[in-house]
Structure 1
């Protein structure tokens, strides 16, 4: 369990005082993948760097497995940090060292006995799929391969927590997906808690269990990823979700619509039911699909559709009422001409 309580980080310059993290409290459950989302300047990088005290918080508490990091000093703090691995956006590999040496460096820094280093590095290279790259240098690797080395290095000392600071932002979409799948595999097999910061909702949708949205140093919304995708409360959250699930219909098409335009949302198993087809068959209306899709979040379907309903007003009202009784949400967004 990671417990963050009333955490603040204030940066002071000659010109002004900036609250990078503003009184944030979060509980992250052992073994989950927790996403922290926000635009540049939202405070998410400051928050994650406070978790291993790369940035010293101005105030508040950080407890990992019951240990208050804010009260540790010297050797005890260094030992606690060994249980917190971190991977970065730009890899931070040592260009003059081979892949083997990059990973071994983390073990030597932790004073791992020399007799154990070769076995551990070999295990890690196999885990991240780079067993054949042990003697090459970072310049000879692709971006995705470099990040795999970064992951192996972060796992070297068997951490209980893995912090990912925009770990996929420098990668193309296909490579991003492969890295996210590797992180999910590590999370499941090693039971490591992962805290992942990003500005990309596709990343959160792919592997996170829960998430928090940050703005101006504060957490403005928090919850299970599925719940936030299916029922966002804050405007910023809705903006982020629209980057993944977009339902903008061209105005030229909307201008041709004469019926009522409704938004229909299905959650869970309901998304697989034929609600719309049942509605059109039971009532004397015509239904035209304008836009829609079914997303799978944590393997649970979330369906959202925009459609135009044409016909007698009473029949349309009955159809909307029927859909409302079966769907999670039915919202009339245009009453037609």
Structure 2
């Protein structure tokens, strides 16, 4: 559905040219939810705005549904953009217009008839759960309700792609969950392709199929969300995932441990097996579980446990070999990591 080919976006500054997007290439499949993750300044917002040519790339190509947007003239580009909806972190609703009129305006701008537009607005408000708020003004709505209006407005022209620019960053955790559930529902009901940018790995874990991690304008890691959570390769990706999985032991605890500390990664159904208890029963060692957690990513379990093994080094080596066969991997933890 979306193909980004060798895209560069440069900005002129007093210090010279800066690359906000640095030679990025990636593809987003039809109907998937694709996340772009990175810290502030990583280039993710610049890349997202290039996808609908809100910002024209300095070089490279952007294909949406087989059409190279970069090559289109102004009139054709406006037409193509109607099939790309966008929602924003700060909603950008017209404060003097009702909820109904905020959505209606998007249809009017596209040249739809009044009767057709009014019917469509009511359908969209029902879809986002705001049928009873049609005559309310933005000042009368909560943050989550405002974002729902933004989503309805973005869907007004039946887009094939929905771009989400930090759509949940201004919301509290419970409201974020409701918005993510709504986006997932829309993705399934309408077959919509969704691209969202965020610095929150919880958001990616919750609804994304695949993800790209950006740093200094470049995509440094790309793959399925499960794959990147299970086996992150880049340091930045590991930082993001550690923030969700929370597996760093307090230094005071590390200092009191006398044995070998290991981190065990379990992938898929192995995460639900009794591997740890089998180790404690089958080998001549003592084990203390210091930390453990099983997460479900796209309904597939991913487990991580941290254990202290106390016993003869030869026996500990046997345990590590056994676990290495059963689990995704075993990592010996030292004070350095």
Q: Normalising to structure 2: TM-score of the pair? A: 0.97
RMSD: 1.1
Distance 1:72 1:211 in 2: 28
Q: Which residue of 1 aligns with 2:204?
A: 204
What does the per-residue CA deviation read over 1:137-174, in whole Å, with 9 as the maximum and x for residues that have no partner? 00000000000000000000000000000000000111
Q: For residues 114-140 of structure 1, what are the alpha-carbon distances to aligned partners after superposition, in whole Å with 9 as ceiling and x for unaligned?
A: 120111000000000000000000000
Partner of 2:106: 106
| Distance across 2 between alignment mates of 1:230 and 1:8 | 30
User: 1:169, 1:206 → 2: CA distance?
Assistant: 14
Q: State the distance in 2 between where 1:172 and 1:140 align.
A: 18
| Number of the residue aligned with 1:155 | 155
Any residues of structure 2 matched to 1:256-275 within 5 Å, and which? 256-275=256-275
| Offset of residue 13 of structure 1 | 2.8
1:242 aligns with 2:217: no
1:300 aligned partner: 300
Pairing of 1:120-199 with structure 2 (within 5 A): 120-199=120-199
Q: State the shift of 1:332 in Å.
A: 1.8
Residue matched to 2:2: 2
Which residues of 2 match residues 70-109 of structure 1 at below 5 A? 70-109=70-109
* 1:43 alignment partner in structure 2: 43
Higher mean alpha-carbon deviation, 322-331 vs 131-140, is at 322-331
Give the SS at the match of 2:244: coil
**Distance in 1 separating the partners of 2:62 and 2:216:** 20
SS across alignment from 1:93: coil
The separation in 1 between residues aligned to 2:321 and 2:51, in whole angstroms, is 49
Question: Which residue matches 1:328?
Answer: 328
- TM-aligned CA deviation for residue 312 of structure 1: 2.4
Q: CA deviation at 1:285?
A: 1.4
Question: What is the CA–CA distance in structure 1 between the aligned matches of 2:46 and 2:204, rounded to whole Å?
Answer: 19
For 2:325 and 2:134, the matched residues in 1 are separated by 60
Separation in 2 of the partners of 1:42 and 1:99?
34
- Whole-Å separation in 2 of the counterparts to 1:78 and 1:256: 64
Aligned-pair distance for 1:178? 0.6
Structure 1 residues without counterparts, runs of 5 or longer: none
Q: Distance in 2 between matches of 1:50 and 1:278?
A: 53
1:260–1:14 distance in 2 versus 1, CA, 3 Å: closer
Listed as ranges, the gaps of 5+ residues in structure 2 are none
Worse-superposed segment, 299-308 or 247-256? 247-256
